[in-house]
Amino acid sequence: MAKRISLREYQEGVMARLRSVAATAQVDARLGVKIGGENWLLDLSDVAEVMPLPAISPVPLVHAWFKGVANLRGNLVSVSDLAEFIGAGSLSATPAARLLLLHPRHILHSAILVDRMLGLKHLADLTPDQALERSGEWVGDAYRDASGITWRSLDIQALVAQPAFLQTGQI
């Protein structure tokens, strides 16, 4: 005969398991994206939303990597081409390209363009690679997957703190 538990005990057990899974996912899972021909990993908590490319209105007298502003549900959002910012060429507006809205705790109403989404990657499946040099202060740890493909971590907090990223105008 099966053990009988109360509804309250059952709900507490479910909530405990959900908290455990959520804590593990936040630590281990990263969002894999392609930017400028390289594979990048972003912390899931740094991204507020992922969406197809909306219409982007250009802004005069800005750096080439600052593509302009987009209207997202009534809010104007600044749009930066991260590939062009890091010197890896400009993004091609393909059907696979996406707009990543950055979490407001880092910077309000700001988004970056990525070539395409590559899905979730778990750090447990990757091997740290200390041989790769960091190309900027916003570049975090590097990893290799089982196929030998290189993945770099993108530190959004460090990126949005860079004066070069914040200064979009050409003066």
- DSSP code, position 2: P
- CATH number of the domain at 29-128+135-166, please? 2.40.50.180
- At 151-170, the pLDDT tens digits run 988 888 888 888 888 878 77
Q: Write the DSSP assignment of 6-19 as a string of letters.
A: -HHHHHHHHHHHHH
- At 33-48, the pLDDT tens digits run 998 888 999 998 888 8
Q: What pLDDT was estimated at residue 41?
A: 93
Backbone angles phi, psi at 64, to 5 degrees: -60, -30
| Residue with the two structure tokens 């909530």 | 15
State the first-to-last Cα distance of the chain, in angstroms, to the nearest integer: 78
Spatial separation of the C-alpha atoms in residues 43 and 134, rounded to whole Å: 18
Task: Report domain extents, the chain.
Answer: 29-128+135-166
Q: What is the pTM of this model?
A: 0.76
